[in-house]
Amino acid sequence: MTRRQGTGLLWGKFRRLSGFGQAGAVAVVTCSQRCGAHWACQLGCLAVELFAKQEWPSMTSAKNTPFTGPSAALLRVAKGDLCAGCGLCAGLAPGRITMEMTPPGFPRPVQTADLSGPQEAGITASCPGLGQTSARAGEGRDPLWGPYRQMVTGWARDENLRFAGASGGALSALAAHLLTSARVDGVIQIEADPANPTGNRTRISETPEQVAQAAGSRYAPSSPLTDLADYLASGRRYAFIGKPCDCAALRALSLRDPAVARAFPVILSFFCAGVPSATGAQELLDKMGVPADQLAAFRYRGNGWPGRATATLQDGSTRDLDYHAAWGGVLAHHVQHRCKICADGTGVAADLVCADAWQADAKGYPLFDEAPGVSLIVARTRLGAEILAQAEAAGAVQTQPFDVADLAAIQPGQRERRRALFARLAALRLMARPVPVYVGMDLRACARQNPIARNLRNFAGTIRRAFTRPK
């Protein structure tokens, strides 16, 4: 057998065995032929056989009975370093789970008391660290970008909001429209923490002016679902703006609990490349030459497109870095592990999603030159399409047609992560590392867009890196 034939055989086995899409289940196929032509094929076949023999715990075994001791869901998340930091578990079990900052600067759950059966079941079913299911509804569905009903580019008609926002201000404009149209009573969103300018805090905005004050990307950890119990107790209706993982958690919970669905009638998100740690923010300050004890305010982006990372010191002076140097040069190297194996950087659980609609050069690669901001706007649900149409009719946003075929070129990071994820997850499963269970996320279809050799390199590279990570 030739090396080419052996590689094809190995890839076929790899595809059959990587049974993502069944909670806690992996298809088992016994290797009946060793590829003796090449040592790499022999090693690969052995790895595939070992992968097939692994037993994976079910994600659906939590029962609605009294639960004592450490949470099985949280233990699994901790073992695999799968926490996204959303705060859902703390929101479901207030007084029993708290979110605390841990090195190198990510919020992580700390259980301080036994959980009830419903609390454990809710965490097991909704925690994005354990898994995510994507609905199939929608007029269009792209393997890379998920379900959608409408995809356009656009920007806030308010020029001040367009300038302040990270990419055209469309997300802030849509949120403000939800308030002025009385569709919701408040908008739950993230803003800079005055006590820690590079950090975040959650706020409830009740006016368009308050929404505008929080405009601009915040490349730092946040746990917007920590106060979930308080939101539910208020009896008010909220629009929720969160990272894709935050939105996945809230959507999963709303499908289980009608009270949650009533409290959060609209979910908004944005394309996310991952959450950097507080250590990353400190490195960014160091690169800018800003002593942390002299920092008065900090913007990661905004005030232009893409905008500059800008530190304001207590004496009123400012120091800044361009977007490429701040994100690509520093922050991207501090992204948490969960983000590196995320199947949803594009907010498939949200009603409406916004992103950068970058301009591209002659080779199709995105440009980061300063320009008037333009947002990509994706309406994923019927409700999202309705809100977008009403917002445009009301003069909140202006839109232009967009061809989904152009998206892969201007969002290369999202494209490559989605295509690589199938192989990466298979490798982690082989290493007996817990991974999220993804259902309906089209990971096989994305992997098929890669050459076989690249998938095998991703598979082998993940195994190599797994040896350097603690279990």
Cβ atoms 86, 246 nearer than 8 A: yes
Cis, bond preceding 147 (omega within 30 deg of 0)? no
Domain boundaries, the chain: 76-410
Read off the pLDDT band of 263 (50, 70, 90). Answer: very high
Round the average pLDDT of the chain to a whole number and report it. 88
Q: What is the pLDDT of residue 255?
A: 97
pLDDT per position as a tens digit, 269-327: 999 999 999 999 999 999 999 999 999 999 999 899 999 999 999 999 999 999 999 99
Q: How far apart are CA 222 and CA 198, in angstroms?
A: 11
Pairing type for strands 375-379 and 295-299 reads unpaired
What percentage of residues in the chain have a pLDDT greater than 70?
83
Q: What is the pLDDT of residue 363?
A: 63
Q: How far apart are CA 186 and CA 266, in angstroms?
A: 11
pLDDT above 90 for 154: yes
Cβ atoms 214, 205 nearer than 8 A: yes
Read off the pLDDT band of 67 (50, 70, 90). Answer: low
Read off the pLDDT band of 57 (50, 70, 90). Answer: very low
The pTM (predicted TM-score) of the whole model is: 0.86
